[in-house]
């Protein structure tokens, strides 16, 4: 974050790219609050605290959010984040399949999902237990949209519980590599060996599924390690396909993205960079820019794009 002196010297600056935090009349810097009012310079303030970068088009302030997303990618998948340490990694793995991915709140409404027009949804893992009253949950209406859904770890447990299954505490917390055996053939697991290695990290697991689901895989300690809904394009994996310790994880994610969601894999990160720089140039024009560089990833990326 820029220091107080810099903000005071820019007290007449025009602020562009506002966020909900900056929508108020003042911006916190350290232990003090520095009011920001009116303009002859353009200020771009960045900070890890506010996560202004994180590939957010809302920050650029060019046109409507939906219009910018349409320019960014015709195909996209949303990752609903339930507090997983791997949420960013899931998004990265999706992008490595040349499909644009956006991380959103776990409680995003079905209406907002429709507005974003994704090809599919991925429900991340998370540290909570579905038994907890305060456990994060998704809008049940997203399961009625007809979109392909893949639940990973907690995401699978939540899906199965919402659709009539039973989740129980596992006999012992499972963490690490384990062998996985396929129980049925399905396009999600196409090209995956009958016996494969996967990475587990859970203390709860699905004990029973309703008759709406078909078990697809099992491990020695987890009899329901993967599932598929009989009628809807809803899938669940108790293991983590996004980590390198699941060698055939890229194949499984690729099957979900391309065979099930119908993505063609036309998105490129270089296209995103070029479009972002073009949008910045359009927004800033001939104005001067002050970029507060904290040294964190978000502000460093913003500085690189501005350069």
Instruction: Decide: residue 90, CB within 10 A, 0-12 exposed, 13-18 middle, 19+ buried.
Output: buried
SS3 content of the chain, % helix, strand, coil (to 5): 30, 25, 45
Task: Say which of 101, 138, 153, 291 is annotated catalytic.
Answer: 153
Task: Verify whether residue 242 is a known catalytic residue.
Answer: yes
For the four alpha carbons of 101, 103, 106 and 107, in that order, the dihedral sign comes to negative
Evaluate whether 89 touches 121 at the Cβ level (below 8 Å): no
Nearest to 139 by CA among 112, 116, 168: 112
Evaluate whether 2 touches 290 at the Cβ level (below 8 Å): yes
**Distance of CA 155 to CAs 39, 105, 131, 138, 239, Å?**
47, 13, 13, 10, 11
For the four alpha carbons of 268, 80, 236 and 75, in that order, the dihedral sign comes to negative
Task: Say which of 53, 180, 240, 291 is annotated catalytic.
Answer: 240
Task: Verify whether residue 153 is a known catalytic residue.
Answer: yes
- For Cα atoms 285, 287, 290, give the angle at the middle one, nearest 5 degrees: 120
Task: Say which of 75, 174, 242, 248 is annotated catalytic.
Answer: 242
Active site residues: 153, 240, 242
């Amino acid at each position: 974050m820029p220091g107080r002196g810099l903000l005071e010297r820019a007290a007449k600056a025009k602020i562009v790219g506002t966020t909900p935090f900056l929508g108020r009349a003042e911006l916190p810097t350290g232990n003090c609050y520095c009011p920001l009012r009116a303009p002859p310079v353009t200020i771009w303030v960045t900070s890890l605290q506010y996560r202004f970068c994180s590939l957010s088009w809302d920050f650029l302030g060019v046109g409507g959010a939906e219009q910018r997303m349409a320019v960014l990618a015709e195909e996209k998948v949303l990752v609903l984040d339930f507090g997983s340490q791997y949420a960013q990694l899931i998004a990265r793995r999706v992008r490595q399949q040349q499909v644009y991915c956006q991380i959103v709140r776990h409680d995003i409404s079905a209406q907002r999902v429709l507005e974003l027009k994704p090809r599919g949804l991925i429900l991340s893992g998370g540290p909570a237990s579905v038994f907890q009253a305060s456990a994060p949950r998704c809008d049940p209406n997203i399961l009625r949209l007809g979109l392909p859904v893949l639940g990973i770890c907690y995401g699978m447990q939540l899906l199965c519980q919402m659709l009539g299954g039973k989740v129980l505490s596992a006999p012992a917390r499972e963490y690490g590599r384990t062998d996985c055996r396929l129980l049925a053939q399905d396009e999600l697991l196409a090209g995956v060996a009958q016996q494969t290695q996967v990475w587990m990290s859970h203390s709860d697991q699905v004990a029973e599924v309703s008759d709406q689901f078909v078990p697809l895989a099992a491990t020695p300690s987890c009899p329901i390690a993967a599932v598929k809904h009989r009628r809807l394009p809803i899938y669940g994996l108790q293991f983590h396909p996004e980590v390198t310790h699941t060698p055939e994880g890229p194949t499984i994610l690729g099957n979900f993205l391309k065979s099930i969601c119908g993505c063609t894999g036309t998105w490129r990160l270089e296209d995103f960079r070029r479009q972002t720089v073009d949008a910045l140039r359009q927004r800033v024009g001939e104005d001067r820019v002050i970029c507060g560089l904290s040294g964190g990833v978000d502000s460093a990326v913003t500085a690189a794009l501005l350069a």
